[in-house]
Structure 1
Amino acid sequence: MLEFIYHFQKVRLVKGRFFYFFMNLSDFFLESNPLSAIFHNPRVGIAIVNSDLRFLFVNDHFADLMHLSNAALLQRSEGEITVWGDVENSLTLFRQLFSGEILHFSLLKRYQSDIGGAFVVELTATPLKDMNGNINGAFMVIVPLSARELPYNTPYPEDWYRQVLNGSPDTIAITDLNGVILFASSAAVKMFGYPDPRYALGKSLLAFIYPEDRERALQDFRTILEGNSPAAVEYRGVRADGSLFFFEVHGSILRDEQGAPQQMIFVLRDVTQRHRAENDRQQRIRELEAINATMVDMTTELDLQRLLEAIVERVALLLGALESNVALYDPDSRSLRMVAAYPPRLQDDHPSVPLGQGIIGKAAQSRKTLLVEDVSVWETSSAHGNAFRTWIAVPLLHKHELLGVVTVSADPSQRRFSTDDLRLIEMFAQSAAIAIQNATLFSEVQRLARLDSLTGALNRRSFYDQGQHEIQRAQRYHSPLSLIMLDVDHFKQVNDRYGHLAGDEALKAVVQTCLAQVRQADWVGRFGGEEFVILLPETSLEGALAMAQRLCTAVETLRFPGRDERMCITISVGVAERTLEMTQVEQLLNAADEALYRAKAMGRNRVSA
């Protein structure tokens, strides 16, 4: 028998209760044990099998059905008493049950009794798990169809079968072939937010499915009726309070003795959390892909202004913002200057913001992300002109150095920023700060490469490039273009008398004087040694001569504190205007050089054209 067979097992019993036992199984199933009444139910067969489908327990009713003693039946496996034609389907379901693919199954099958006759039973099986949650067997309920007192279209015997299904944590519904609910377990109706299973009886299962998913569900039901059980399908359900959720459905057919379809049985599972987690995962993937694509575009843009314009446009589109701005920090003035905005028409608003003032200044000062849900009631809303908006301001930091602040805003009646938005814009800001730093360094390298290291004027190559560009522009628009060439008089004597450092100081002073006299559109370059050139677009010879005379006067009055009071310098200046024949910058330079030669020949410290 079962003497001294010990088993440590968690058994799922009726009414949703769990029992742990470690005892002699033969003692457990004695009729004196109160729990044994369930297992000795005279109307249904009860059996427990291990993962090899060997019987560990059978009740008397099941042994009687097989015309065997309990001991003889325990020597066999479930497969050995199954009619050969039903073995494959039965084994497949048991394998799925033991692997965890399904939580429960119910099927019609035939058993071969010991006296040679076959009979039809409805077998319901649910897994048994050990203390660690591992499936190591199954609990079986065997209902002989001929023994039923109720007609077959009643989906369960009034007592035990209902208790088993209602006690199961699985959500189970049985319908007729038209999808009308005949039985719904307690767990099923609770999943839909109803307190009593009776609420579902007589209603179509489709009524609990979101309207837009019903046509698809109807097609799936037809597939089940055709004998092709689809894989788990997912629908949106409607709870009693009207809220939506996602649930997964496994469906199959219940058949009569002749194999004709009688009802459909569905196992349902709430997958809302899984669906939400998957949606969140997909959303993060889309966000990361968007940020990655944005960063690829931005890191390849080395023009600082174009980069800043790309940053404000991309961050506004990424967060669905109404507008965005970026301000760069100037440590000398301790203020932030607006340098780009999206849409571009907003760019002139609030061009400069002191550190610590307004949303941008506060974020820069604290170096922390600032979320203002309604700027109209914010304590310093007067520092920022856009009332009735929600704002995020994120400092742009590179190695703890403040580069600036990027902001986005939205109409709170249409869009409110969430913690996910904060996380997203902070990730964006980190990459944007790196891109800004790279573009700034590149711009500085480019600038230094174009300048003379001593005086800060354009070097000769850069001046040639800019000069040729201005020549072509003057030709295209038929505009005047003049050039000034100047030379520091007797510069070798300055070096010899006062030293080379004094000479360097004199050259820098000449360039600073030129830069102070010229317009923003003009170009000052060092041609070589103590010679300098000034390119004057849109300037006639008369205007260039006036500029040259002012330069002569200004340089002559230069003084050098800390140097010998006698140290002074003068310049000789040659001026030329482009003629129609001049198509190369070298031609204009030669003309100005000839004029310079004449100025020197006339005694220096003068202008010649």
Structure 2
Amino acid sequence: MSRKRDHDSNSGTSTLTRDLRALHDVSMELSVAPDVDELCRTAVKLGRSVLGFDRLGIWFIDPEDPDWNVGTWGIDEKGNLRDERESRVHRNPVIAPEEFYLGKIPILVLRDSVAYDDKRNPVGDADKVLAPLWDGRRIIGELSVDNLLTRRPIDEDRQEVIVVFARVIAHLCSLKRVESELRTLASTDSLTGALNRRTAIIVLEKQLATALRHHSPLAVSIVDLDGLKSANDQHGHAEGDEYIRAVFQAIAHRVRTSDTVARLGGDEFLIIFPDCGLDVAERILAEVAAHVRETSAGRSYRRSISFGIAALSELAGEERSGSDEVDAYVNRLLDLADKRMYIQKRSNRLAR
């Protein structure tokens, strides 16, 4: 690129310098976005309002089919923010050759190219620039910028800003994805994908606080797998793991979308039922128990579950305030559900 710069007649500051300063401010704001979706949304908004691009859009390579790009957010033909997350575009090798997606071409500049809306309808001609989203290891997508609205030339300085902007977006997107994966690993059980105990208690505390504040019902259940030790002893831990996953799937397919399922560890699950009384929770767990029993067919050990349910409405006692009240109710609910689970477990053993 040419190193000749346009200068502001008053300050002597080059246009590129001003753009790079603005880009620094934009990157700082993008760094605090909570996730990739909000990062892309904010990047498009600031690309328009702060960096002064006409239209821009962020597209990611479809991980399931790399011949397609999937949309995120963009600017429409009137200069407004547009949700393009349902858009998919087949990659055109004539416009963007394979070398572009291998990182061998830093930027593509298309003069007087047909501009499209998010439905791939032509809306006019414009100069268009494509910059790869390079995250330091691979190309994950592209940043598309055109001058449809103002026809202002996209000179070499602006092209350089677009390339840097694309790098910033790509690096931050990769960081956000890693952060999301780490949060998932920290909050879920690796065997089943259910929430882990620590995260489940946090969810229960929040649900309880809401229930106490609005005087709404809430129930919890502790579910225990019967015969897990036999499965491990007779067939190995792979069979035991399959048993645990099967019970989790039986629970997950029958609880309501508002309910929370967590693995407390070993052979126990916790289910949180907000806005729910004992009757509904009992019906759901009875369906789960029946399904688990059916999976015993053809096995040398018996699959079944024991469960105990406790409802917030059952707990009457001393008044507490704030977090002390919530903590007390968490402990009392879990203790009651646990005791009822063990009562049922002893009954199941006697019935065999």
Match of 2:304 among 559, 565, 570: 570
Q: Deviations over 1:482-535 (max 9, x none)?
A: 222211012212211112222122112222333333344332111121000122
In 1, Cα distance between equivalents of 2:350 and 2:260: 22
Does structure 2 conserve the Cα–Cα contact (< 8 Å) formed by 1:389 and 1:409?
no
In 2, Cα distance between equivalents of 1:438 and 1:605: 54
- Residue of structure 1 in register with 2:71 after alignment: 338
1:278: how far off? 7.0
Name the amino acid aligned to 1:557: E
Matched, 1:384 2:117: no
Match of 1:404 among 138, 141, 164: 141
- Residue of structure 2 in register with 1:527 after alignment: 264
1:507 alignment partner, SS class:
helix
Does structure 1 conserve the Cα–Cα contact (< 8 Å) formed by 2:110 and 2:129?
yes
1:412: how far off? 4.0
Sort the Cα spacing of 1:310 and 1:487 in 2 relative to 1 into closer, same or farther, 3 A. Answer: same
In 1, Cα distance between equivalents of 2:252 and 2:99: 36
Sort the Cα spacing of 1:446 and 1:374 in 2 relative to 1 into closer, same or farther, 3 A. Answer: same
- Residue of structure 2 in register with 1:504 after alignment: 241
Sort the Cα spacing of 1:363 and 1:540 in 2 relative to 1 into closer, same or farther, 3 A. Answer: farther
Match of 2:27 among 291, 295, 305: 295
In 2, Cα distance between equivalents of 1:402 and 1:461: 37
2:194 alignment partner, SS class:
coil
In 2, Cα distance between equivalents of 1:365 and 1:482: 58
In 1, Cα distance between equivalents of 2:118 and 2:174: 31
2:222 alignment partner, SS class:
strand
Match of 1:481 among 218, 242, 246: 218
Sort the Cα spacing of 1:389 and 1:578 in 2 relative to 1 into closer, same or farther, 3 A. Answer: farther
Does structure 1 conserve the Cα–Cα contact (< 8 Å) formed by 2:221 and 2:337?
yes
Match of 2:171 among 420, 434, 438: 434
Aligned pairs for 1:16-415 (under 5 A) are 276=6, 282-301=14-33, 303-334=35-66, 335-341=68-74, 346-347=82-83, 349=84, 351-356=86-91, 366-367=100-101, 369-371=107-109, 377=114, 384-385=120-121, 387-388=123-124, 390=126, 391-413=128-150, 415=152
Which structure ranks higher in relative contact order (CA pairs < 8 Å, sequence separation ≥ 6)? Answer: 2
Does structure 1 conserve the Cα–Cα contact (< 8 Å) formed by 2:58 and 2:73?
yes
Q: Deviations over 1:106-158 (max 9, x none)?
A: xxxxxxxxxxxxxxxxxxxxxxxxxxxxxxxxxxxxxxxxxxxxxxxxxxxxx
Does structure 1 conserve the Cα–Cα contact (< 8 Å) formed by 2:5 and 2:14?
no
In 1, Cα distance between equivalents of 2:109 and 2:350: 64
1:457 alignment partner, SS class:
coil
Q: TM-score, normalised by structure 2?
A: 0.77
Does structure 2 conserve the Cα–Cα contact (< 8 Å) formed by 1:312 and 1:325?
yes
In 2, Cα distance between equivalents of 1:516 and 1:365: 46
Name the amino acid aligned to 2:120: H
Aligned length: 326
In 2, Cα distance between equivalents of 1:517 and 1:344: 43
1:502 alignment partner, SS class:
helix
Name the amino acid aligned to 1:353: R
1:440: how far off? 1.1
In 2, Cα distance between equivalents of 1:455 and 1:521: 19
Q: Deviations over 1:274-308 (max 9, x none)?
A: 99567685212211211222223333545434333
1:340: how far off? 3.8
Sort the Cα spacing of 1:295 and 1:594 in 2 relative to 1 into closer, same or farther, 3 A. Answer: same
In 2, Cα distance between equivalents of 1:531 and 1:275: 67
Q: Deviations over 1:404-446 (max 9, x none)?
A: 3333454345545333322211111112211111111111111
Asked which structure has the greater CA Rg, the reply is: 1
Note the aligned Cα RMSD (angstroms): 3.6
In 2, Cα distance between equivalents of 1:495 and 1:370: 59
In 1, Cα distance between equivalents of 2:255 and 2:156: 53
- Residue of structure 2 in register with 1:557 after alignment: 294
In 2, Cα distance between equivalents of 1:592 and 1:423: 63
Match of 1:590 among 316, 331, 335: 335
Name the amino acid aligned to 2:247: V
In 2, Cα distance between equivalents of 1:511 and 1:275: 63
In 2, Cα distance between equivalents of 1:473 and 1:549: 27
Worse-superposed segment, 463-472 or 401-410: 401-410
Match of 1:600 among 330, 345, 351: 345
1:468: how far off? 0.7
Name the amino acid aligned to 1:426: V
Sort the Cα spacing of 1:456 and 1:396 in 2 relative to 1 into closer, same or farther, 3 A. Answer: same
Aligned-residue sequence identity (percent) comes to 26
- Residue of structure 2 in register with 1:463 after alignment: 200
1:426 alignment partner, SS class:
helix
In 1, Cα distance between equivalents of 2:48 and 2:350: 59
In 2, Cα distance between equivalents of 1:329 and 1:460: 36
Name the amino acid aligned to 1:516: H
1:472: how far off? 1.6
Matched, 1:548 2:285: yes
In 1, Cα distance between equivalents of 2:111 and 2:214: 53
In 2, Cα distance between equivalents of 1:524 and 1:453: 14
In 2, Cα distance between equivalents of 1:449 and 1:578: 29
In 1, Cα distance between equivalents of 2:291 and 2:34: 39
1:595 alignment partner, SS class:
helix
In 2, Cα distance between equivalents of 1:473 and 1:482: 13
Name the amino acid aligned to 1:486: V
Name the amino acid aligned to 1:421: R
Does structure 1 conserve the Cα–Cα contact (< 8 Å) formed by 2:16 and 2:157?
no
In 1, Cα distance between equivalents of 2:274 and 2:130: 43
Matched, 1:494 2:239: no
Q: TM-score, normalised by structure 1?
A: 0.47
1:462: how far off? 0.9
